[in-house]
Structures are given as structure tokens and as C-alpha cells.
Structure 1
């Protein structure tokens, strides 16, 4: 039974004067797919790294100079859980869309020899009025765009959706409260970025862009052009708009974008020499860097478009983030799970920093102090209450429990610091050929203070790291700090239970795997 939850939100009078020209501010949420926190020329760590020098993202630099750079922003380790948290304000443990979705009534998990994954919500999130077919193995919610729409916003979805299984209401952004849907469906990736390939075929075909077929327009560019066109209507009618600019970039396949690949080649055609890798960039790595730069051009095009109309620009909030960590295995170059998100360990799908740490920038005209840095901890479900807060929607009734916490106050009071405990829940198996030593596998995790505790359901072992002193998570402190591990395991268990989280079962016995705190005695015995 879901709980009704009243969201206490800002009144319009609390917003800066520049945002009150029309009834509510415009909001652009720019979401990148699979972008790691270091895959940008904007440094999000305490110092600049060679990865920051590899990439060209001048418009991210521009946005960071306009707004606030959040250095401790987090999401889930894979796509659908993050996107469902974003649209619902719920933690993945609660909405139970804990792995990526695609086909109706089908799990997408790889196999484990030790555990059976729980019967999670592989049909995704669904609108509140979803029927019995769509509600099976799904969570009904009041979607973020629906609340905005009901409060006068013109809502635009552009790009990747990936909220729900094919053939359900939740697959269609128009059923989730968007007035316009550009190329969004159940597919979690593009089959191709190339117009000459008609943006691919099969279950990952990007639909709705037929007019670009055979034109040579790269997918990222096509989506940007469509987004700019869609904004014209609400601007002309002086209606506040919400643009969810959700790029398929920089997800695989790493198709070549000829507009930018030349920036990563030498005169002889070979990839440029990379200081981090101490090698020339491979073809996939060249294409990956070009995907990043193409995404950044899209951000710049949107900024430029807004600034041609100063009254619109002065009334438009821009939020930038990613849905999970950067890809750290095939087809990436370098030491697997080491170089791709360095100094973080591992990448997409991993419980480690490389899988969950995100680049994030916020700009609110007349409110944010440009070029500032905020080290407060935030997570993907926080965007739901924050956006409603920014929109001046005083209160609204939704059918789901909201776990997210608005960070709007952190923008108004940049020196404010608040303690925040975050949890992750992934009782699933993402892919084959990866190791628990790199943070992969079925896990739950908690981040509290300086410490990050990860509990692996298959082995019932703990990994404990001090992420302030060990951002690369190289030194497991669980054995040397067993009391701290136990304390965090208890807190994690309490939060999982309060979210009604699911557990895997052991294949050998059919019984649920012990909760993190219940496995503590087994862990102690393993140390002796």
C-alpha cells in the first residue's frame, strides 16, 4: 500500500525577483547517459586530472561559471533505477525498479550460481491510472512531469526515457505527464547514432526522427534541434516550460561523430597521445570523446538559444547531471575498472564511486553565485522535490512516498552544510565477467559521513572505505574497523527495511539472504 505524502515546497515569494516575470520559472533538466564524473574538462574532484584534459566540454565550463558545481552528486549504478527515482522521488529500494528494463514481464539480470534475484519491478514505473496489466511488477506513481503539467507547465520530453517496459503506459512519456515526446520509449540505448542507419533497428531503434534519415545528422544533434523547436511554442505563449533534455549520448554504441573526431586525432590519423593512458587513443576512445563533445555542443546550443531571448534566459533554471557512472569495461581503453573514471574505482554497474558518482551543475538566475562549488551530498531522487520547490509549487498530493530531499535551499544558502546519509539497493546481477573486487554484483550500500559500506548479497561480505581519504576505494577497512562496519550495517538494514526493500534468496536453501546486520557474525568468523 503506497502512502500519500504532502510535499512542503517554496512559495513564489521566496523565489528571486528575476524568476517572477512570468508565473513560474522555466526549468531545463539536462541529463546525460552513462557520463562519469571525470568525463569532462570541468574537474569535479579536489584537483584537475589527466582525464579532465582529455575531454573538451567548454559549455559545461560555461555553465559551471554561471552556476554551482556539486562535487558530491550521486545516482544509481545503472540507468532505469536512476530514471525511475528521478521521475518518482523514490529511492530504488522503495520503487523496486532495481535493474534496467526493456521487455514486458522479463527480467534483464545475468545469472548467479549462488542467489536468485528477487521478483523486482521489471515493468518499471507507471502512471497513477495504470491498469492491471501495466501495474504488474511495477510501481504506480504521480510522475514529476505530471505534477508540473497540472500546475501550468508545458512539459517536453526529448531523448531517452527508459522508465518502463515496452507495451506499458509507462513506456510512453505522453502517459507520464509530458505534453511532447521526442524519441522516448522503452529502449535504454540507441541502436545507432547515425542517420544513414536510420538510428538503428530492433528493440533499441530510436523512433520518431524519420525526417532526419539519410541526412547525416548525428542523433545528438537531431535531438537538440527538436528540443529547440519544441521550446518555441511555450515561449511564444509565455507559458512556463519544463524541458527534460535526456540524451542517449554517451551510451554505447560509440559511433563516430565526424564533427568532433578530428579533435582527437593527430595529422597522421592516429589517435592523439593521452597523458593518462600513456598511449594513443584507440578508435572507440576517439569516438567516445567525440560523443562527449557532441553532448556538450547540445548544452551550448540550448544556452545560446535561451540567451538570444534575454527575458527567457533570465527566467530559466538549468540543471545538469548524469544517470550513472561512466562505462569502465568494454569497449573502453586502458586498465579495466581503473583508468576510465580515475581516481574513482570501476564504473557503471559498480557499487564503487566510479559507478555512482556524477557530474552535476545547477544554475538559477539571480540566485546562484557563478563559479562556486558545493560539497553537500545529493542523490538522484532529490531532483523531484527540488524541481517542484524551484517551480514554486507550494504543495501537491502524490500517491508515492518521497525519499528525496530538496537541495533548493543549498542554492540559496551556498555556505549551508547538512549531514546526509545515502543508501543504494541493487539486489540484481548486472552483467557477466565482472568481479566483486571491483564493486560489481548484487549489493546494498550506505554512505554516512566519510564512510561507504557495501554489503554483497552473494558472499555476505562487507567492503568499507573512507572516501574522504581513499576516493579510489583501494583499502577495505571492514576487517580493521569491525565495530564501524557493524554500526553502518545496522543503519543500512534499518533503512532497507523501512523502504520495504526486497532480498535475494539463496539457491541452496531457498531462504532469503541475511540482512546486512544479520551477516555480521558470519563476517566476524571469516576474520578469525
Structure 2
């Protein structure tokens, strides 16, 4: 009898141990989404191109290098040309053409000043108030925000840095309305009044008050850069949860490297000594300060012994600024890519993207799979173990978890669409009211103002120097039809031509046998 009892107890212990082991394995991962503002594809010492370039040699981002060595590098990751559309796509899973927050938001119920008196185009009443978690808010898109979905499933959710989800005085202005437990310095504005603690991050200055960064009073008057202050506060917020088994979602959304371009005193001198002009030295110092933040977070995770169960996703919200406010020649700061922020050319939409997922992603792996910003929504939900979610919005994004696990490769058939029926302000290649589509190696850009098109083979011409519209009319027509069908399907808004009072036609209508019907 004693032997039977002993055997039973041993089996029971084994079962309990097995169950406990399974529970440990099934714990959902912590997730850090590290989003940089206005960081270009080339603003790093990590080469995302097929070869290292002079820009890769200019910048110093050792922690991005470390992250790339530990995870997967995506060479063809895309966002939108400007910030708010990207951020709304990120937390809703919707393409900008569908959610209609197609330009950057700030003032309630108001289109941007540069759109109000345009010479040739009357711009649509896009969703200027941003995203809303509830129905009935005018000029807003209602959605189940990503942080709310994670929070409902037990995640502790922290927002740190730039929000820019909704206009002043709307629900989307405050990240706490979107499912975050903690909001550090996020509000309606998309740029800081100042990066300097000695300038109180813009607080107290009448000409910067709308841009003043809120909630960092402990750092006012101190020799501290905004990037560092945000990182310290983000890690403090995690201290209350890391000792438990509650998973967390940290959305580390830096204001850097958006204007105003200001030197980070910790790093700027080395770039001046390299011979960079004052503006570019300051910009490079902001890049390195951002990279230090990434490194500080990675060290924190290791110190707390949670790095092994923490996903890190690194992304930028649009291409690097190049049309104005930079040193040197405009439209060259993202070479070999064409143009920059505000443009639907590659320099304005192709982003540096890295993903570390211990035990799931092969270290130092590289993927040419094409992803777009709305893909983050279903991907992060799948990472968190949320396999079904009843959302009010239609999700356009596709999970890239199979890509991360090495189960899927790009077959060249997926289409990516950008829609910007708006005015940004500066001029340059690919800048202006546009719609664009990429399918396989080919990309078509349609300009609303004069209805001309550009067709590029990106595999052969990453710099978008050879317009193939006239020489490859079959491919141009194919993509024009694909783009038109998509815009019709999501009921995308189009500007009105002031000269005729008519809505800008779909691109397929410009071909002789294209449909003239507007559905």
C-alpha cells in the first residue's frame, strides 16, 4: 500500500510539474513597439540596402545593430508619407484610404491651412479629428484600438512619447481613451516645442505652447534631452509590473527625430568633428540618442531577466525628412531612395524595421517580404495569443507572424496601396495629392493634380529614375485598374478639380478603354 501511495504521489507531482511547465511556456510575451518619428531607411548604421552606403557610415546605431543580430531585418517595410495616417493605421489595422485620416491631425474639425486655399484642388473632408474608440464622433474613424484589445486581454499598456492619434479636444487626443493604462507625454501635437529640459520642452513659451510636451515637469530646467527623459519614465512605468507575471505592452513612440532639429549634447560633438554641418550633426546626434534609448530598454529587459519572453518591434512612421529643414541638398537624405517625408516615392514610405522574438525568430535573419504599417495590428494580436477579435472596423492588415517564423515567403502577388488626397506643403518628387500601388516589383504613382502617372520597376530601379508608363503600358494599365478597384472598394475620398468642379478621376479612367463610371 505504501508503495502505491508513493507511486501515486510521484505521478501527481510529475503531472503538476508538467502542467506548471506548460503554463510557463504559454505565458503571453511582453511586447515593446519602438516607433521612431521621421526616421529614414538610411538613418542608421544597419544597412537595409543590398550594400553599405555613405549614410550607413555616417550614423552610429550600435543597439540597432545588436537588435538586427538578435532578430529579423525587413528590407521592404512601408508606412505612409506622413505621421497621423501611419499611427492610425497602426492602432486600427486599417489602410489610410479606408480610415480617412489621410493627413496629420491637430485642430478639431479643421483641415490643414495649406489645404484651405489651394489654387487647383478642393480637398475632401477627411477625418481631421483622428481615431475614436466610440461611435458618433464627427470627422473621426471609430475603431477598436490595438492597446484596448491588448488591455482587455490582460496586458498592462504603457504609452510613452508622441501620440498624434486625434485632434485637440477629441477622444483620440488622450492615449488613456484608447486603451493605455499609462500615458507619458502623449497629446494631440505631433512635434515637441523643444527637446531640451532647460527649455521645459516648450512649456511656458507662448509661441510653442500648442507643441509643448506635457507631463514631464520633473525634468524641467534640467540638462536632459527629451529622448532620455521619455526613456527613463517609460522604464519607471514598467517597474510596477515586471515583478508579476502580467504581460505588458510598451509603445515607445519617440518624438525624435522630428523637427525642431536640436543637438543632443551627449553625442553632437563627434559629428561636428566628422565634418558634418551644424544641422546634420544635430540630426545625427538625435539618431544616436534614439538608439541609446533602444539600448537602455534592451538592457533593462536583460537586467529584469525578461528579455527571453519579450518581443521588440522597431519601426518608423514615415521616411526621413529631406524636402526642407535639413542641411545639404534637398531630396537626397535617403539615397539611394528618391525623395523623403511627404512623398509616396520610396524615400517617403520605406522604413527601417527590425523584429526580435526569442525562440521564434532566427537571429540575424533577413526578409524581403513586403509589409505595411497596418500589418502590425493583426501581427501583435497574434503574438499576444489573441486569435479572434470582434472589431467594429475592417482589418486591412495581414499578420506577418508566419514570415517571422520562417513559414512564409513573399510570392509577389500581394498589393500595397497608399492614398494621400491632401496637401503637405513642400514640393518635390512624389510630393502632393497622390495615390499609389505596389505589386511585385512594380509601383505606380498617380498624381491627382494633373493626372499623370509614374511606373517604376523597383527591383531594377530602386531610385525611381526611369518612368516606364510609356514603354510598359500593359503593366501600367494593370496597376491602374488594381489601384482604381481598391479605391472604389474602400470608398476612398478624392479631391475636386477647381477648374471643372469634377472629382479627380480614377487612374483607370485615363486609359482609352477604361471605365468612366464612378461607383
Aligned to 1:298: 293
The residue number in structure 2 matching 1:308 is 303
Matched, 1:179 2:181: yes
Runs (4 or more) in structure 1 with deviation over 4 Å come to 17-22
Question: 2: distance between equivalents of 1:418 and 1:157?
Answer: 36
Give yes or no for the alignment of 1:283 onto 2:274: no
Aligned to 1:512: 503
Q: Give the 3 Å change call, closer, same or farther, for CA 485–300 of structure 1 in structure 2.
A: same
Q: Could you tell me the TM-score, scaled by structure 2's length?
A: 0.92
Identify unmatched segments of 5+ residues in structure 2.
1-20, 203-207, 515-519
TM-score (norm 1): 0.90
Does 2:322 align with 1:320? Answer: no
From 240, 244, 247, the equivalent of 1:237 is 244
| 2:313 counterpart SS class | strand
> What's 1:10 paired with?
none
Q: Is the 8 A contact 1:109 1:430 kept in 2?
A: no
The secondary structure found in structure 1 opposite 2:418 is strand
Assess if the C-alpha contact under 8 Å between 2:242 and 2:304 holds in 1. no
Alignment equivalent of 1:439, drawn from 422, 430, 440: 430
Give 1:457's match in structure 2, choosing from 448, 452, 467. Answer: 448
Question: What is the distance in 2 between the residues matched to 1:96 and 1:491?
Answer: 19
Q: Which moved more, 1:169-178 or 1:327-336?
A: 327-336
CA contact under 8 A between 2:272 and 2:278: conserved in structure 1? no
- Per-residue CA deviation, residues 239-287 of structure 1 (Å, 9 max, x unaligned), is 1000000000000101111100012122xxxxx23xxxxxxx1111100
Q: For residue 201 of structure 2, give the secondary structure of its aligned residue in structure 1.
A: coil
**Alpha-carbon shift at residue 424 of structure 1 (Å):** 0.3
| Counterpart position of 1:472 | 463
Count of paired positions: 486
**How far apart in 1 are the matches of 2:144 and 2:98?**
15
Q: Deviations over 1:211-233 (max 9, x none)?
A: 10011111000000001111111
Aligned residue for 1:354?
347
Q: CA deviation at 1:335?
A: 2.1
Contact 2:93/2:376 (<8 A) preserved: yes
Tell me the residue number matched to 1:40: 44
> Closer, same or farther in 2 for the Cα pair 1:331/1:414, shift >3 Å?
farther
For the aligned residues, what is the CA RMSD?
Answer: 1.5
In structure 2, relative to structure 1, the CA distance for the partners of 1:50 and 1:18 (3 Å cut) is: farther
Aligned to 1:331: 325
Q: In 2, distance between residues paired with 1:216 and 1:18?
A: 48
Q: Could you say which residue in structure 2 is the equivalent of 1:493?
A: 484
Residue by residue over 1:156-203, the C-alpha shift from the partner in whole angstroms, topping out at 9 and shown as x without a partner, is: 000000001000111100000000000000010111000111101311
Secondary structure, counterpart of 2:435 in structure 1: strand
- Shift in Å, 1:415: 6.0
User: Distance between the aligned counterparts of 2:320 and 2:272, measured in 1?
Assistant: 22
Match of 1:257 in 2: 264
Q: Note the C-alpha offset of 1:452.
A: 0.7
Separation in 2, partners of 1:220, 1:415: 36
Do the aligned residues in 2 keep the contact of 1:157 with 1:245 (CA within 8 Å)? yes
Rg bigger for which structure? 2
Cα contact 1:490–1:516 (8 A) shared by 2: yes
The equivalent position to 2:132 in structure 1, one of 126, 133, 136, is 126
Which position in structure 1 is the counterpart of 2:17? none
Distance 2:497 2:402 in 1: 44
Q: What aligned pairs does 1:358-369 form with structure 2 within 5 A after superposition?
A: 358-369=351-362
- Structure 1 289/488 Cα, relative in aligned 2: closer, same or farther at 3 Å? same
CA contact (8 A) 1:21 1:315 kept: no
Q: Is residue 37–residue 326 contact of structure 1 (8 Å, CA) maintained in 2?
A: yes
Q: Distance in 2 between matches of 1:23 and 1:450?
A: 40
